[in-house]
Amino acid sequence: MKTSSKKFVYLTVFVIITSQLTLSSCFNMKSDTTMKISENFFGRIEEKEIKIFELENPKGSKVSITNFGAIVQSLYVRDREGNFEDIVLGFDSLEDYIQQTSYFGAIAGRYANRIAFAQFTLDGKTYQLSANDGNHHLHGGFKGFDKVIWDARPYLDTTGACLELHYISKDGEEGYPGTLDVYVTYCFTLDDELKIYYQATTDHPTILNLTHHSYFNLSGFTQRNILEHELIIHADSFTPVDSTLIPTGEIVPVKNTVFDFTSPRPIGSRIREVFNKKTGYDNNYVLNTTDSTVHPAAKAYDPESGRILEVFTDQPGLQFYSGNFLDGKIKGKNGKIYQQHDGFCLETQHFPDSPNHPEFPSTVLRPGQIFRSLTIYKFSTDR
C-alpha cells in the first residue's frame, strides 16, 4: 500500500451492496442476446448517487462495475466443476473503495504507473504533477481516475452487455495539461470475455496512459494465494527499474532471468529472487508485437480450479504486479484479509515513465487525435 496517498473524506456514504437492500431503482433489460444488465444503488458521495451495474451472460457469468473509479467490484466465472466464484479482490462497500490506495479493480489514469519525480516536459514546457508515491507520480495522482465519479450508460448490443463510462478531466487536474474527454466502456460477452474499450481526446497537447487494475485470484474467493498459478507472458524483454520502481531506460531480454515467463511456470517458482521495492514482480514487459492490433499478451492458469485467464491487447506493454504491497492490513470482501500475493494484476499499458524516455513508444496525445485502445480479459477452464 502506498502510505503517502491522501485520504478522501466525503460527507455521506451509504453502504449498500445487494439488490435486495437497494434504495434505488432496479431494472432488468433482456434482448435477443439474452445478456442481462441490472443497476443498483451503491452509495452516495456528497449529492451524487453512486451506482453498481451487473452485467450477466446466459451462462451465469457476471461482472459488477461501479461508476466510482470505473471499478470492477466482482467477477464470477465458473471453475472446471461448474462452480461460480468471485475471482477479483475488492470490497463490499463504497466507503472502502473511497479509502483504498491499492487500486483494486479500478481504471488508472491519466497516467497509469509512475512518472519520475512527478515531472515531464512537453513541447518545451515542464509540468509538475502531484507526487503521491514518494517523490514520484503514480496512477494519476492523489485523485486519479480510480477516485472520480464517472457518468454511466448501460446498454446491450451485439458485443454483449456494456457499460459506457465517461469522465471529463479538467485542464490542470493533478497537474496535467489539457482538458481530457475520456470514455471507458466495459462489455461482457457470451464467451466470458471482459472487453475494455478506451477512448480519449484532448484540447491541448498532453500525455496519457490508461489501464485496468483488477487483482485476479483464479482460486475463487481468494481461497489460496496466487503463487501456484501458472503464468505465460508473451514478452521476450522487459524494462528494469531502480529501487523506487522507475525504469532505468534499458530494455533487457528476459532470457536467463527470473522475469522469463515465455513458457508457463508457477508465479511463485522464483518470486523470492525478485528484489523490488517489496519482494515480488512489479515490472513492465515489452510485449512481442510489431503492430498495434490486438494480440495475446498473457495467460494465467490455476491448476486446482482449472480456471484460465487470457489477456489480449493492442498496447505495447504489460505490468505484471504480484500483489507485493498487500500486507495483511486490508479487510476485503466478506471480511477476507488480503495477504501479500493474494492477487496479481496484468495491466496493459504504455511503458512507465515514457514521457521522460523518448526512446519508449510515445504517450503524447494532441488535439485532433483520438486515442483508442482495446484490452480483453477472457475467462475459460481447462475442461
Provide the binding-site residues for ligand GLA, judged by CB under 6 A.
102-103, 113, 138, 245, 282, 319, 321, 325, 345, 347
Strands 230-233 and 317-321: unpaired
DSSP classification of residue 334: G
Q: Please, what's the largest Cα pairwise distance for the chain?
A: 59
Residue by residue, DSSP assigns 27-45 as: -EEE-TT--EEEEEEEEEE
Query: Minimum Å distance from CB 377 to ligand GLA?
Result: 16
Query: Minimum Å distance from CB 297 to ligand GLA?
Result: 15
Q: Which is nearer to ligand GLA, 165 or 246 (CB)?
A: 246
Query: Minimum Å distance from CB 278 to ligand GLA?
Result: 8
Query: Minimum Å distance from CB 89 to ligand GLA?
Result: 11
Q: Which is nearer to ligand GLA, 302 or 347 (CB)?
A: 347
Residue with cell 489514469: 109
Q: What's the half-sphere exposure (Cβ side, CA atoms, 13 Å) at 134?
A: 10
164 is an active site residue: no
Dist CA 315 CA 375 (whole Å):
8
Distance (Å) of CA 327 to CA 287, 338, 342, 376: 30, 7, 10, 29
Q: What are phi and psi of 327, to 5 degrees?
A: -130, 20
Q: Which is nearer to ligand GLA, 282 or 302 (CB)?
A: 282
Q: Which residue is nearest to ligand GLA (CB)?
A: 321
What number of other Cβ atoms are within 10 A of residue 288's Cβ?
14
- Reading the block at residue 37, the C-alpha cell is 444488465
Any residues with CB less than 8 A from the CB of 219 and at least 6 apart, and which?
A: 85, 87, 226, 302, 304, 305, 307
Distance (Å) of CA 60 to CA 82, 256, 301, 316: 10, 42, 21, 33
Q: Which of 213, 229, 234, 341 is catalytic?
A: 213
204 is an active site residue: no
Q: Are 40 and 52 in contact (CB under 8 A)?
A: yes
Dist CA 301 CA 259 (whole Å):
18
Q: Which is nearer to ligand GLA, 71 or 345 (CB)?
A: 345
Q: Which is nearer to ligand GLA, 5 or 206 (CB)?
A: 5
Query: Minimum Å distance from CB 233 to ligand GLA?
Result: 14
Q: Which is nearer to ligand GLA, 245 or 254 (CB)?
A: 245
Query: Minimum Å distance from CB 101 to ligand GLA?
Result: 7
Query: Is the alpha carbon torsion for 326, 327, 331, 336 positive or negative?
Result: positive
Give me the count of residues in the chain. Answer: 383
Q: Which of 56, 173, 310, 347 is catalytic?
A: 347
Active site residues: 213, 347
